[in-house]
Structure 1
C-alpha cells in the first residue's frame, strides 16, 4: 500500500503523503476507503468475487481542491497503479469478513461531509485556539471513522493518537500547540496515515460529545430556545447521519444556551451593578435588591423606572398585578404591575423577580 501511495505522489505533482485520500466504489457501497493493506485486500477480494478486471480509484487532495481518477488493474498476484506497481502478498481467508467492513456512504449529501478536510497538513492554523482545534479534530474523526485518545491536552498543546495505538500499533498522530505571537493553534507534526484495520464510519461514535453537539446547534438555539432534545436527535440523524443519545442532546443544548445567553448563576452577581446603573442613569427610579442575611443569597428584586413612575399620574388610577413562571434553571416567578393609559392600552409600572407568588412579595 505504501508503494501505491508513493507512486501516486510521483504520478500527480503536488500530492504529498498524508495529504490525500483514496476511495473507490462498489455496488451498494459508493464510497470505500483505500488506505491500508487491509483495505487493499478488501478491494482485491471484491475483484476476485465479481470477476472485474479493473476498478476506478478517486484521489482527493485534502490540501487543495483537485481530484484525480484512474483505473487500478488486478490479477491474482499483482495490483498495478497506471505505471507504478505494488505487489500484494497477503492472503484473504474470509471474503465476507472484509466485505462486511466497507464504509457505506449515504445517498443524501450530509452536512458532515466537509469534516474530512478539517485536519490535513502541518502548519495548518486554528484562529480559535485549542477549543477550535479540539472541536475540528473530533468532527474529523467522526467523518473519517476512527477514535483517538489524548496523550497531552491543555491550553498550550494538544497531542492525539489513534485509539488502536496500543493494541495494533497504529502510527496515526497529531500534535498542535499555541503560537505565542498570534495566539492561534498550529499543527506542528502530523502522521495522517492509519496502519490499523480499515476505517469505518459508524452511526454511533465516542467522538460525538456534548461539546460537539453544542457547536452544531448553537445557531438553532439562538433562533429557537425551546428546541427539545428529541428534535435535536432527529435533526442530527437527518442532517449528519449520526445517532446521538438523549443525554448528549440535552447537555449539548444546555451548553449551547450557556454560549448564547451566558451563565445564569453569574448573572445574579450583575444585579448589584444593574441596580446602581439604573439609579444613576434614570433619576427617580426605584430599584431594590434583597438578599438573605449572612449568606447573601438572592431573594427578590424589584424595579420601577423613573419615566414609568412619572407617566403613571396620567393613567387611570388602577393597577393590575399578575405573575408568570420563569423556566430558567433557578425557576422563580416574574411579577408585573400594569395600568391603563388614556387609549385603554397597557402601561407597565413595575416588575419584580421573586421566589413565589405570595402576599409579602
Structure 2
C-alpha cells in the first residue's frame, strides 16, 4: 500500500514542504533539504519530527523513517512537522567534503555507494557532531510544538516553558495578552518586520490546565540565532532551574549560579537575575518568611506541649513596631541545676532580612562546654528589652534557688 505524507520542514526562519512516500529514503530527504535550504551543509545538522504526544523524535536512519511512516499511518495523520537542528558552523566541521562526495557517488550510481540500509545509516550517523558538548537546555526547543498541547501547571507553567523555548530557539517575544485565563504572545519583531509568529493559550475550565488554542510557529522575520545573552532569561526562569539546588545547598552564592548557568546551559545571566532568582527559589522551598511570624503562636504552644516545663513567651502589639520572643526548653532548665552556677549573658545582631537582636544566656557544663539555657529575639538591644529578657530568665532561676 502506497503511504504518502506531507513533511513540513523548518530551518531557522524558513519552512518548506515536500512529500515523503514509501519509496523515499533518508538520503533522499537529506539531499532535498540541502538543495532547498541555503547554507545547510551535510554533517552539520540533525532532524527531529513531532507527532501528537511525542514532540521530539529522532529522524536519523531509514529505520526511524519507517517507524515515522508507520505511526502516521496508524494515527491517520497526513502531515508531519520536521525540525532541522543546526549543530555547527561550516568551518568547524571537517567531514563535509567526504559526505558530499558520497552523495555525488550515489547520484551517479557508482559502485562505491552501497544501497543497503546499513551503509546509508552509517553515512547518516555522521550528520551529528560527536564532539559538541550537550547542554541541559537542548530539550527546551520541544516545549512548544502543536495545537492542543496541555500544561497541567496552568498559566505559570506555560509562561516558563514559553520563555525557555524562546531562549533555545533564539528569539524574543512580547505578551499581547497575559492573565490567569489566557496568554497571547507574539514575536518582538512583529511591528518592525511584520513577523507572523504567534501563540495563544487559555485555561480549560474542565481540568484547570492550560491548552494551546492557536499556534503559528513559523517566523517570517530575520533568522533566529541562539545567543548566550537574552531578554527571555528572567529571574523566574532562573528560579525554576535552581530550586532543587537551593533545596540541597541553601548557601549557594549568586556567583556560583552564574558559573553553573554558563557551563550547563550555555547562557550568561546577570548578578541581579542570579540573586533574585535565588530569592524566588528560597521562597518556593521554604515559603514566605514574613508569613512565618504568624506561626510563632502555634510554635510556642507546641513547645510547651511537647517539652514539659518549657517557658516560651511571645510579646508583640499591633500597630507598634515591637516584637519580643523568649524561649527556654524544659530539658535545658532541668539540666542547668547540674551545671556550674555561672551564667554568661550576651547579645548579637541578626543578619536576616528582618534584622533584630539575639539575646542569650548560657552556662558551663562539667566538660567546660557551653550549655544553652535561654535565648530571646527582640527588635533592638535596649534597656527595656534587656529588662524584659532578664525578668523571664529570673522566673526560671528562682524556683531552682539559683537567683
**TM norm. shorter chain > 0.5:** yes
Aligned mate of 1:215, from 240, 247, 266: 240
Q: Does structure 2 conserve the Cα–Cα contact (< 8 Å) formed by 1:174 and 1:190?
A: yes
* Shift in CA distance, 311/100, structure 1 to aligned 2, threshold 3 Å: closer
* Shift in CA distance, 271/333, structure 1 to aligned 2, threshold 3 Å: same
Comparing 239-248 with 143-152, greater Cα deviation is found at 239-248
What do the CA deviations read for 1:168-201 (whole angstroms, capped 9, x no partner)?
2222111222222322222222221112221111
* Shift in CA distance, 104/78, structure 1 to aligned 2, threshold 3 Å: closer
Asked whether 1:117 is paired with 2:138, we answer: no
Deviation (angstroms), 1:209: 0.7
Q: Does structure 1 conserve the Cα–Cα contact (< 8 Å) formed by 2:87 and 2:129?
A: no
Q: Does structure 2 conserve the Cα–Cα contact (< 8 Å) formed by 1:214 and 1:253?
A: yes
* Shift in CA distance, 343/38, structure 1 to aligned 2, threshold 3 Å: closer
2: distance between equivalents of 1:200 and 1:96?
A: 30
1: distance between equivalents of 2:94 and 2:155?
A: 36
Q: Does structure 1 conserve the Cα–Cα contact (< 8 Å) formed by 2:27 and 2:120?
A: no
2: distance between equivalents of 1:95 and 1:14?
A: 23
Which of these two proteins has the greater Rg computed from alpha carbons?
2
3-state SS of 2:285 partner: helix
3-state SS of 2:245 partner: helix
* Shift in CA distance, 205/53, structure 1 to aligned 2, threshold 3 Å: same
What do the CA deviations read for 1:220-250 (whole angstroms, capped 9, x no partner)?
2223333332222222222211121222122
Aligned mate of 1:341, from 348, 365, 387: 365
Q: Does structure 2 conserve the Cα–Cα contact (< 8 Å) formed by 1:116 and 1:143?
A: yes
Comparing 272-281 with 254-263, greater Cα deviation is found at 272-281
2: distance between equivalents of 1:232 and 1:208?
A: 13
* Shift in CA distance, 149/85, structure 1 to aligned 2, threshold 3 Å: farther
TM-score (norm 1): 0.68
Deviation (angstroms), 1:104: 13
Deviation (angstroms), 1:74: 15
Comparing 171-180 with 315-324, greater Cα deviation is found at 315-324
Deviation (angstroms), 1:97: 35
Asked whether 1:97 is paired with 2:122, we answer: yes
Comparing 315-324 with 73-82, greater Cα deviation is found at 73-82
* Shift in CA distance, 255/274, structure 1 to aligned 2, threshold 3 Å: same
Q: Does structure 1 conserve the Cα–Cα contact (< 8 Å) formed by 2:359 and 2:375?
A: yes
What is the match of residue 298 of structure 2?
Answer: 273
2: distance between equivalents of 1:124 and 1:34?
A: 22
Comparing 331-340 with 85-94, greater Cα deviation is found at 85-94
**Between structures 1 and 2, the one with greater helix share:** 2
Q: Does structure 1 conserve the Cα–Cα contact (< 8 Å) formed by 2:61 and 2:121?
A: no
3-state SS of 2:195 partner: coil
Q: Does structure 2 conserve the Cα–Cα contact (< 8 Å) formed by 1:57 and 1:71?
A: no
Q: Does structure 1 conserve the Cα–Cα contact (< 8 Å) formed by 2:359 and 2:376?
A: yes
TM-score (norm 2): 0.62
2: distance between equivalents of 1:61 and 1:241?
A: 16
Asked whether 1:351 is paired with 2:378, we answer: no
Unaligned runs of 5+ in 2: 1-25, 386-403
Q: Does structure 1 conserve the Cα–Cα contact (< 8 Å) formed by 2:41 and 2:90?
A: no
Aligned residues: 360
* Shift in CA distance, 18/241, structure 1 to aligned 2, threshold 3 Å: closer
Comparing 344-353 with 237-246, greater Cα deviation is found at 344-353
Q: Does structure 1 conserve the Cα–Cα contact (< 8 Å) formed by 2:88 and 2:129?
A: no
Deviation (angstroms), 1:219: 2.0
Deviation (angstroms), 1:77: 23
* Shift in CA distance, 82/274, structure 1 to aligned 2, threshold 3 Å: farther
3-state SS of 1:82 partner: helix
2: distance between equivalents of 1:357 and 1:278?
A: 25
Deviation (angstroms), 1:93: 42
Unaligned runs of 5+ in 1: none
* Shift in CA distance, 211/304, structure 1 to aligned 2, threshold 3 Å: same
